[in-house]
Amino acid sequence: QVQLVESGGGLVQPGDSLTLSCAASGFTLKYYAIGWFRQAPGKGREGVSSISLIDGATAYTDSVKGRFTISGDNVKKTVYLQMNNLKPDDTAVYYCAWRPHPPAAIMKLDASLYEYWGQGVQVTVSS
């Protein structure tokens, strides 16, 4: 059973930075990806970024390109989401999720592809 534990959320001001972490455990697959998704109050779940831990392939949604950076440590099975220049629109509960993938797969932000999900962490950007 794959388990995901997120950490690093909090309350910050516009323009500030924050780093989220997602620690995964409970599997031995070589080819897998971890994605970050978010859900703001009254809105649907949105894919933010994803990374393959075997080859480092990444994907970002347009609204975070140039501000967020995803990275991973395959030994620790941990993924980080560095969020810079945060905006009030980034306020949401952030979830990490896990999926297996075939070799050389293109990273996608389709939530239906992900099989396991963390509990989520709150990120609030407010002055």
Neighbours of 34 (CB within 10 A): 27
pLDDT tens digit sequence for 22-79: 999 999 888 999 999 999 999 999 999 999 999 899 999 999 999 999 999 999 999 9
pLDDT at 106 over 90: no
Q: What is the mean pLDDT of residues 106-127?
A: 95
The owner of tokens 């239906």 is: 112
Beta strand residue intervals within the chain, DSSP E = 3-7, 10-12, 18-25, 32-39, 45-52, 58-60, 68-73, 78-83, 92-100, 116-117, 121-125
CB 99 within 8 A of CB 33: yes
Please report which confidence band the pLDDT of residue 3 belongs to, taking 50, 70 and 90 as the band edges.
very high
Q: What is the pLDDT of residue 61?
A: 97
